[in-house]
A and B are shown apart, each in its own frame.
Chain A
Amino acid sequence: MISTRRVLTALTVAGVLGAAAPVSASAATTITMSGATASYPLVSLLASKYVKTHKKARVKFRIAQGGAQVGVNDVSAGRVTIANVSRDPLPSDPAGLDFYPIAKYGICVVTNKGNTLGNLTASQLVSIFTGKVRSWSQVSGASASGTIDIESRTSVAGVLTSFQTLLLEGKKVSSVASEQSSEGLMRQAVEADPNAIGFISNYQSDKGGVHVVSVGGVTCSRSTVISGQYPGIARFYEVTKGKAKGAAAAFIAWITKAAPAKKIINTQWVTI
């Protein structure tokens, strides 16, 4: 009995020490993020590259999504270090936020694969998404027939805000539209519905499965975003409360200046 007790005591002590050791070793700083689902693929690529190339800085990342507005609210309340935002600063944003642009992206208008609609003029786009035109038969060039199913994003999405400012002349997407909570769900919904029309970042539309519609005669692709011809060019931002400090500042500076970061951005997106 006594020997068992000794062994147990020894094990317990060992366990406590073992648990304590990693705690003291992990003095790493954690950068927490929340926000846009559109910039999530880019930011997570950048973060994992940064962790690999800056082993000495011992930085860890925890990246949540939720939508640009969620990120803005979180960062202003101090719940995260950095917010990922996929739209320009708004007058309604809380005061004291610093927006650091990190990349440009195109907001592509997409339809189902079966709908070979080639081009929409700016005014056609507005009348479709505001719900003025509700039937594909009223849209010249559309091979779909029947009612137009408008796919939109939930109100926290920065891509929605950017889309309305850049491509809808500031008008709001019709309230009949279905609201998707992420870029991926939006693409899935358009893929599954022959009558659907929606909008996603060029990173998502490049993955295929949907048909990309030109706007005003300009196709939506990385090259028209570089040349600046495409009307729906928006920016991704990293947003901090006040000026970025410490590890967050170093990370943001690395994104905007370092060559490896620029290389990652230029795979699917465009550097500022």
Chain B
Amino acid sequence: MLQRFRHPWTDDRAERTLGAASLIVGVVVVAMVAFVAVHAWPTFAHDGLSWLGPGGNLKDQTEAMQATGAHAPASAYHLNAWPIVYGTLLSTALAVLLALPLAVFSSIFIVELAPRRLRAIAIPVIRLLASVPSVVYGLIGVLVLVPFVGNHIVSDSEKAKYASEVQLNGYSLIVTVAILAVMITPIMVALICEALASVPKTWREGAIALGLNPLRAILAVVVRAARPAIVAAAVLATARALGEAVMVYMVSGVNFWSPRPGDGVTFFFEPLRTLASTIVAFAEGASAPALRSALYAFALLLLFSSLALSVAGYLIKLPLRKYQVRA
């Protein structure tokens, strides 16, 4: 029986086997989306898309959902998830804005300017950083950064000023964004480095021969040619930040508070909640049907956002393709 597999496969058989493998992956993805959508349906059926909107008090709503038990009345499905949608958008956007320039410039340094020996160390280290499990970052965040920000950065007068509305005890937007940025930068650096390295040397030399100084040549030719890869890296990093659950759950605070830009610097010290971290928070309590449906709705929203991100990334890359190199 086994020796049949030892002989080289015919093209026909190899094609069918590999085709079946990729088909299975496709089927699993479609089945997963369908499963999540079916379970999320009661939430959509009750509120349509308005559950994404502001208003109401999400904390009271989730508590009511948990209290209803096994047979939830239709009213229990009522939900205003805007605070966590806002929290997700805010933390992701800030983290990517912070990490993207950092990643581009450090990639340029590593590929173009760093001495060979440093490059030989830097690239494997960055790959390693990109694969650190997020719970490790979360642990450092909750044991080191959160108490540090709560006890030393936020002033007593700031705490007292907002005491009746929100506790500024370190679980904050700034810690969340900082750790998210640390998490996604290595992913972007790893991808952008490869793209920069694959730009043909002759292009750079040509630009220098035409009279550009080396730095201008890098920015005008090499980085320009690698733009599609930079976009791809940013999309991947955004997806990672969007879906990061455990780390954000540990450091972002536990109330459904929405940081208010009007509060000045304090804005960064206010707690928040994201879609993914809310799913983690309630996963164990998800036996109440109304809450379970709400969690599946959050999950569907996250799946949909990753899809939207990929499409957006593709559309951005289209006009950049003229001089692209394949990473």
Contacts of B3 in A (CB 8 A): 1
Question: Could you tell me if B151 and A8 are in contact, using CB atoms closer than 8 angstroms?
Answer: no
Question: Could you tell me if B167 and A147 are in contact, using CB atoms closer than 8 angstroms?
Answer: yes
Which of B99-107, B110-118, B187-195, B282-290 is found at the contact surface with chain A?
Answer: B282-290
Contact with B253, one of A64, A92, A148, A178 (Cβ below 8 angstroms): A178
* Chain B proximity mask over A171-188: 1 for CB below 8 Å, otherwise 0: 000011111110000000
Distance in Å: Cβ of B223 to nearest Cβ of chain A: 43
Contacts of B316 in A (CB 8 A): none
- Alpha-carbon gap, A181 to B282, bound state (A): 9
**Does B15 sit within 8 A of A, measured CB to CB?**
no
Question: Could you tell me if A195 and B70 are in contact, using CB atoms closer than 8 angstroms?
Answer: no
Which of A46-54, A102-110, A149-157 is found at the contact surface with chain B?
Answer: A149-157
**A73-B70, A149-B167 known; A193+B147 contact, CB < 8 A:** yes
**A74-B287, A176-B165 known; A155+B70 contact, CB < 8 A:** no
Question: Could you tell me if A195 and B2 are in contact, using CB atoms closer than 8 angstroms?
Answer: no
Contacts of A145 in B (CB 8 A): 156
Question: Could you tell me if B254 and A178 are in contact, using CB atoms closer than 8 angstroms?
Answer: yes
- Alpha-carbon gap, A79 to B254, bound state (A): 28
Question: Could you tell me if A155 and B63 are in contact, using CB atoms closer than 8 angstroms?
Answer: yes
**A134-B163, A146-B156 known; A76+B146 contact, CB < 8 A:** no
- Alpha-carbon gap, A148 to B143, bound state (A): 20
Contact with B59, one of A5, A64, A67, A175 (Cβ below 8 angstroms): A175
Contacts of A93 in B (CB 8 A): 69
Distance in Å: Cβ of A210 to nearest Cβ of chain B: 14
Contacts of B166 in A (CB 8 A): 176
- Alpha-carbon gap, A147 to B168, bound state (A): 9
Question: Could you tell me if A147 and B163 are in contact, using CB atoms closer than 8 angstroms?
Answer: yes
Contact with B164, one of A69, A79, A134, A195 (Cβ below 8 angstroms): A134
- Alpha-carbon gap, A64 to B67, bound state (A): 20
Question: Could you tell me if B67 and A176 are in contact, using CB atoms closer than 8 angstroms?
Answer: no
Contact with A177, one of B66, B146, B150, B167 (Cβ below 8 angstroms): B167
**Does B89 sit within 8 A of A, measured CB to CB?**
no
**Among B59, B164, B271: residue with most chain A CB under 10 A:** B164
Question: Could you tell me if B2 and A8 are in contact, using CB atoms closer than 8 angstroms?
Answer: yes
- Alpha-carbon gap, A117 to B156, bound state (A): 19
Closest A residue to B168 by CB, please name it: A147
**A147-B160, A175-B255 known; A70+B285 contact, CB < 8 A:** yes
- Alpha-carbon gap, A65 to B284, bound state (A): 8
Question: Could you tell me if A92 and B156 are in contact, using CB atoms closer than 8 angstroms?
Answer: no
- Among residues 1 to 28 in chain A, which have CB atoms less than 8 Å away from a CB atom of chain B? 1, 4-5, 8
**Does A192 sit within 8 A of B, measured CB to CB?**
yes
Distance in Å: Cβ of B285 to nearest Cβ of chain A: 5
- Alpha-carbon gap, A64 to B62, bound state (A): 22
Question: Could you tell me if A193 and B2 are in contact, using CB atoms closer than 8 angstroms?
Answer: no
* Chain A proximity mask over B253-284: 1 for CB below 8 Å, otherwise 0: 11100000000000000010000000001001
**Does B134 sit within 8 A of A, measured CB to CB?**
no
Contact with A76, one of B69, B160, B170, B284 (Cβ below 8 angstroms): B69
- Among residues 29 to 71 in chain A, which have CB atoms less than 8 Å away from a CB atom of chain B? 64-67, 69-70
Question: Could you tell me if A77 and B255 are in contact, using CB atoms closer than 8 angstroms?
Answer: no
**A131-B164, A149-B167, A155-B63 known; A79+B287 contact, CB < 8 A:** yes
Distance in Å: Cβ of A31 to nearest Cβ of chain B: 18
Distance in Å: Cβ of A69 to nearest Cβ of chain B: 6
- Alpha-carbon gap, A187 to B211, bound state (A): 65
Distance in Å: Cβ of B144 to nearest Cβ of chain A: 10
Closest B residue to A150 by CB, please name it: B167
Distance in Å: Cβ of A67 to nearest Cβ of chain B: 6
Contacts of A148 in B (CB 8 A): 163
**A8-B2, A73-B287, A94-B69 known; A193+B255 contact, CB < 8 A:** no
Contacts of B168 in A (CB 8 A): 147
Contacts of A177 in B (CB 8 A): 167, 255
**Among A92, A94, A176: residue with most chain B CB under 10 A:** A176
**Does A125 sit within 8 A of B, measured CB to CB?**
no
Closest B residue to A182 by CB, please name it: B284
Distance in Å: Cβ of B290 to nearest Cβ of chain A: 11
**Does A224 sit within 8 A of B, measured CB to CB?**
no
* Chain A proximity mask over B152-170: 1 for CB below 8 Å, otherwise 0: 0000100110011111111
Question: Could you tell me if B169 and A4 are in contact, using CB atoms closer than 8 angstroms?
Answer: no
* Chain A proximity mask over B281-321: 1 for CB below 8 Å, otherwise 0: 10011011000000000000000000000000000000000
Contacts of B288 in A (CB 8 A): 73
**Does A196 sit within 8 A of B, measured CB to CB?**
yes
- Alpha-carbon gap, A150 to B255, bound state (A): 12
Contacts of B160 in A (CB 8 A): 134-135, 146-147
Distance in Å: Cβ of B199 to nearest Cβ of chain A: 48
Question: Could you tell me if A146 and B159 are in contact, using CB atoms closer than 8 angstroms?
Answer: yes
Question: Could you tell me if A192 and B70 are in contact, using CB atoms closer than 8 angstroms?
Answer: no
Name 8 extra pairs, CB < 8 A, besides A1-B3, A149-B150. A8-B2, A73-B285, A134-B160, A145-B156, A146-B159, A147-B156, A175-B59, A178-B255
Closest 7 pairs (CB-CB, A-B): A66-B284, A134-B163, A147-B159, A73-B287, A146-B156, A192-B147, A179-B254
A-B contact pairs, 12 of them (CB 8 A): A4-B2, A70-B287, A73-B66, A76-B69, A135-B163, A147-B159, A147-B163, A177-B255, A178-B254, A178-B271, A181-B254, A195-B159
